[in-house]
Structure 1
């Protein structure tokens, strides 16, 4: 369907085209090359960690990170059900068990009290998400992780550039995952990264993403022999993809500011409409609005009304524990009242850097019309 106002549009310019074109015209290093290392340098500088390792997707990054932290069979990882399914599936990738905790209402992130209740002697890690670009209660979760000697992994797929006070999301946990999928804060089409301060995790990630190969030069251009010292996968980011990432990351602050300005405009005009409630972050929380989500009464009817006017909206997220796979194949039975309540009311509206004021006015007007 062709939408009058789509859910998202990719923000790009000639710099993106020029970077990729240069690498294509080189006739070399389309898979492995120097742009990957340069992109990783820019990522770690931007987030403020010692290390960054890129991957071909955020899901590959998350899978690899759990392996790097030695999470394995018999371990439990506390995750939200209110998330994209990769967050919950990643413990299964390594033989561990995802344990669902409930969310809190302010940020729609993991509820620290619920997390505390889910901790057992098998718990190895806590894996929260920062929903839609809004930091979760990560400081409280960090305290819990430290009190129980647990690994804290931030799924910051939607939250590149977000922060609490002056501290960047991605630097609270032991490690964090970023995503560069097409609808994220910045994009390489598909792609992801891990950021961490742990040298051991960094070294393991480099092996895992490239067949367990101990790399000391470009595999495709070096005469030197290479040894394989661990079991690994083909999870590498390509040099072409990294070249696009370099162009995108140089303007990521600009794109975030555009998103925030648009979201503040929508907040102002939607905040007084009976029947809906924008998500307003706590004081000192810097929300980057990868998603612009509201809590809406008669959500499904609202979505149909908007669709009839050519305005796309989408549900982020339906609970993972209620999917066919988890209910029928995994036999999960969970009590997550806040997750189940809010998942019936959330709706994500169009949000992207180049969203124009006239289009936001149309969105606001149609929502006002729906609620009378």
Structure 2
């Protein structure tokens, strides 16, 4: 279907095109090259961590981080069910068990009180998600991890640039995953990264993401024979992709500024004109980057159908992972998460991207108003 107003669009400019074109025209170093190192350095500096390693996806990044942290068979990792499925799947990649904890209503992130209730002697890590560009209660989760001697891995796929008290999301955990998939705050089409302050973790991930190869220089630009000292994968980001990432990162504050301004316009109109919509109030000192614009509404499923008839795409982010066919039938998962259920039943993500016009936002809101006025 061709949407009159799509859910998202990529934000790009001619600098992005030039950066990629220049790398292609070089005729060399498409897989590995200087852009990768530059992008990693820029990302670490932006988040405020010592190290960064890029990957071909956020999912690959999470997989590598779990291996590097030593999480394996018999371990438990506490995760939300209100997330993209990769968060819950990644512990299983290494033989661990995802243990679902409930979320809280303000940030839609893990509820620290419920997390404490889920800790067992087998718990090895907590993996919170910063939903839709809003930081979760990460400071409290950091304290819980410290108190129980647990690893804290931030899934910051949706919250690049968000912060709490001026401290960037991604710098609270022992490590953190960033995603650059097409609908994220900045994008390389596909791609991801892990940031950390641990040199040991960084060195382990370098082996994991490139076949277990001990690299002292560019593999493709040397006659030296390199040794393979561990099991590894091909999780690398390409030099072409990194060129786009560098260009996108240069304008990240402008992109975030547009997102926040567009969200403010949405919020102003919805609060004034559509009382059926619920928009959570942010905690003090929370800086939201609005990777998604999600609200809670009455008669959500009927509203989605109404908007679809008008050519407006909307989407449910997210349905609970623990209720998917795989987790129910294959893994026989059974847990009770009342807040997750409540939010998943009435949340809706509306069309949102940098540069969305006020006319398009007005069209969306006018059709939401039309739906509720006809009830």
Query: Is TM > 0.5 for Structure 1 vs Structure 2?
Result: yes
Residue 138 of structure 1 aligns with which residue?
138
1:134 to partner: Cα distance? 0.2
**1:271 & 1:113 partners in 2: Cα distance?**
30
Residue 331 of structure 1 aligns with which residue?
332
Secondary structure (helix, strand or coil) at the match of 2:66 reads: helix
Residue 233 of structure 1 aligns with which residue?
233
Residue 261 of structure 1 aligns with which residue?
261
1:274 to partner: Cα distance? 2.2
Secondary structure (helix, strand or coil) at the match of 2:369 reads: helix
1:208 and 2:204 are equivalent in the alignment: no
Residue 371 of structure 1 aligns with which residue?
372
**1:353 & 1:45 partners in 2: Cα distance?**
24
**1:132 & 1:305 partners in 2: Cα distance?**
24
Residue 82 of structure 2 aligns with which residue?
82
Residue 303 of structure 2 aligns with which residue?
302
1:223 and 2:200 are equivalent in the alignment: no
1:187 and 2:182 are equivalent in the alignment: no
1:225 to partner: Cα distance? 1.2
* 1:281-337 residue CA offsets vs partner (Å, 9 max, x unmatched): 212110000000000110001111111111110000000000000000000000101
* 1:224-254 residue CA offsets vs partner (Å, 9 max, x unmatched): 1101111100000000000110111000110
**2:313 & 2:113 partners in 1: Cα distance?**
35
> Does the CA contact (< 8 Å) of 1:274 and 1:371 recur in 2?
no
1:112 and 2:119 are equivalent in the alignment: no
**2:334 & 2:350 partners in 1: Cα distance?**
31
Instruction: Supply the RMSD in Å over aligned alpha carbons.
Output: 0.6
Residue 73 of structure 1 aligns with which residue?
73
1:279 to partner: Cα distance? 3.2
> What is the 5 A alignment of 1:170-181?
170-181=170-181
Q: Which runs of 4+ in 1 moved over 6 A?
A: none
> Does the CA contact (< 8 Å) of 1:135 and 1:159 recur in 2?
yes
**1:250 & 1:274 partners in 2: Cα distance?**
39
Q: Which runs of 5+ in 2 are unaligned?
A: none
Secondary structure (helix, strand or coil) at the match of 2:100 reads: strand
1:280 to partner: Cα distance? 3.0
Q: What TM-score do the two structures reach when normalised by structure 2?
A: 0.98
**1:152 & 1:254 partners in 2: Cα distance?**
30
1:168 to partner: Cα distance? 0.5
**1:278 & 1:363 partners in 2: Cα distance?**
16
**1:254 & 1:345 partners in 2: Cα distance?**
31
Q: What TM-score do the two structures reach when normalised by structure 1?
A: 0.99
Greater Cα offset, 138-147 or 271-280: 271-280
> What is the 5 A alignment of 1:145-160?
145-160=145-160
Secondary structure (helix, strand or coil) at the match of 1:30 reads: coil
